[in-house]
A and B are shown apart, each in its own frame.
Chain A
Amino acid sequence: MNPVTGGAFVLATVGKVMIFFTMLMLAVMLATIFERKVCGFMQDRSGPNRVGPWGLLQVIADGLKNLLKEETMPEQAVRPFFLLAPVLAIVPATILFAVIPFASPLPTQWGLVEMIVADVPIGFLYVLAIGSIGVYGVAMGGWASGSKYSLLGGLRGSAQMVSYEVALALSLVPLILLTGDVRAPEIVSMQQTFTAGPATYSTWFVFPLLVGLFFFFVSGLAETNRLPFDMPEAEAELITGYHTEYSAMKFSMFMIGEFAHVITVAALVTVFFLGGWDIPFWQGDNIRVLSDGTVIGEPTWWKTLLTLGAFGVKTSLLVLVFVWIRWTLPRFRYDQLMDLGWKFMLEAVTVYILVIAFVILGIEAVGIPAGGWYAFVLFLVNLGLAGALFFAMDRGTLIRGGAKGAKSAGGDAAGQGG
């Protein structure tokens, strides 16, 4: 069965856009209630439990409230940019989802429909490009509000996002070295096992690129402005930072943008490192569409549903990790955040790229073909690197203000501790 073409392709794409956009918005709604429930659990309280069963309808109540609330317009605000900023926050976060493959291809009577909105040839470069636009929402919201707190939040946000974008982009270079391709469906196929077609690695990239996953996840946390990197909206210092002056639905749009971003980063980690929609220990779902249109494997509709479920489970677990980190780690100080970004992450990622490049060169010189053993050697190297990395990070010397700061502060810190 061949991929759909012509008019059917246009119709299928329109359908996919509508279905996936609805799915994303539903996921955002569920993520907000999920986060509040998990927060409640972690702080030993009930969380929202009044509206509907287990408080599940709380999101709808909040949405209605935000729709009906009065929109305020600060006197000092620069009107066109003040109105544009929430749009700029929400649009990049949503259109990022276009290049994420959700499930195995769906066979229809007109041909095979790939479960990705746009399989663009530039793959995750699209993600980096659109992701880098997200910063305008923060920067402009902060500046156009005409408030000191908003401006500070916007400045912090743009500086932080620009800084961590570098590490985010570099942490994906080992992935290119390994796969030789930037398209997301191809990266998913590379993590599965095939008997025909070009060689694949038969293992999720979390193993051969463990350290890369760590760097990508940390930069992703910083890019989405989540704790411990939520300096732009540090509520103890800046009220709520760049969206202090926003009310009702405009505020809601910032929030939807943030949650959509979180879900997108979780989905990207799933695709790049956790096998995408691949179901572990089952070879029946290994379906690959080669660039010339030939299909390896047997796509069926129930496989599409199953793999969609697998993708959903992986992504939800990662969103849980996001929330978990929120209540586990304290917020960074601003200089620590910049030090971590520029003086540690950047160098560490560069060294990591070099090591991986040399290891790959070595493996190919030895003559191990791409496949399980190839990935295993890389996994061993990564275990060693991860051990060294976490040992070094745990010494409290890299992030200033840890052990060293407490010592220099002397009796002051000790007195507070008691």
Chain B
Amino acid sequence: MIQDFLFQAFAAGAILGAVIMVTRRNPVSAVIFLVGVFFATSGMFLMLDAHYIAAINVILYGGAIMVLFLFVLMLLNLGHADWRDLRGPMGGLIGGSISIAFLGVLTRLFVGGTDARPMVEVAGSALREAAAEQGVVGVVARPLFTEYTIVLEVTGVLLLVSMVGTILLARRERTVGERERT
């Protein structure tokens, strides 16, 4: 009962935060509202008994990635820029049509499609049972390190490749004159 109510509240908060986020002109405000959206999403995960996912969502997205965004925005001093990016008739048309298509999908799910709630309840009770047995971290960790080890390792290599690539791109080629100076 109270869980349902809190879930609805978090969901409403997430939608509201997302709408405010995309309508901000100041990038720093947008980042702050996006952090709010992540928090609301974590709250929703909590209400679905997915404690571990909720924590990881806040640690990675709320605490690390968004701080990086904020950091870059502050460093580049984009704080007071309010240029028009996707405005104008063409931008509005593209953005509007994507939104309408997305809304249509959601409406179809809600009205004519399958009701997702029984599925959520089944998954939730399965999760609760597994969590009572192995702990909330074990539920995620066990399959990750037994069934999906290869996938995990491959993802790790993928991330490593992208990291090496970033370093390569960011590395400044030093000219001869510069090397002499340092």
Contacts and interface: CB of A to CB of B under 8 A. Distances in A.
- Pick from B58, B59, B131 the residue with the most CB of A within 10 Å: B59
Of A84, A120, A176, chain B has the most CB atoms within 10 Å of the CB of A120
B164 interface: no
B71 A182 contact: no
Of A131, A139, A155, the most chain B CB neighbours within 10 A belong to A139
B163 interface: no
Interface in B27-64: 28-29, 32, 35, 51-52, 54-56, 58-59, 62-64
Q: How large is the interface on A (under 10, 10 to 19, 20 to 34, 35 or more residues)?
A: 20 to 34
Interface stretch (B14-22, B94-102, B132-140, B154-162): B132-140
B74 interface: yes
B70 A162 contact: no
Given A154-B74, A159-B71, A291-B132, A132 B55 contact: no
A121 B131 contact: yes
Contacts of A131: 63
B63 A122 contact: no
Contact of B71 (A128, A130, A158): A158
Given A143-B28, A143-B79, A133 B51 contact: no
A140 interface: yes
Contact of B74 (A84, A120, A143, A181): A143
A135 B31 CA distance: 14
B59 A129 contact: yes
Contact of A132 (B29, B59, B75): B59
A136 B68 CA distance: 11
Given A129-B58, A143-B28, A162-B68, A155 B75 contact: yes
Contacts of A125: 52, 55-56, 59, 137
B70 A158 contact: yes
B67 interface: yes
Contacts of A158: 67, 70-71, 74
Nearest to B66: A136
Nearest to B62: A133
Nearest to A139: B70
Contacts of B131: 121
Interface residues of B, number: 26
Interface string A48-75: 0000000000000000000000000000
A405 to B, nearest CB: 16
Interface in B109-144: 131-132, 135-137
A132 B52 contact: no
B67 A135 contact: yes
B63 A132 contact: yes
Contact of A136 (B29, B35, B51, B54): B35
Contacts of A291: 132
B62 A182 contact: no
Contacts of B67: 132, 135-136, 139, 158, 161-162
Given A140-B32, A291-B132, A133 B63 contact: yes
B42 to A, nearest CB: 8
Contacts of A128: 55, 59, 63
Given A136-B67, A154-B74, A181-B135, A129 B28 contact: no
8 contacts: A84-B32, A131-B63, A140-B70, A154-B74, A158-B70, A162-B64, A162-B67, A165-B63
> Nearest 9 A-B pairs (CB), nearest first?
A132-B63, A129-B58, A125-B55, A121-B136, A122-B55, A122-B51, A129-B59, A129-B55, A121-B51
Given A130-B58, A143-B70, 6 more contacts: A122-B52, A126-B55, A133-B62, A136-B67, A176-B137, A291-B132
Interface of B: 28-29, 32, 35, 51-52, 54-56, 58-59, 62-64, 67-68, 70-71, 74-75, 79, 131-132, 135-137
Interface of A: 78, 81, 84, 120-122, 125-126, 128-133, 135-136, 139-140, 142-143, 151, 154-155, 158-159, 161-162, 165, 169, 176, 181-182, 291
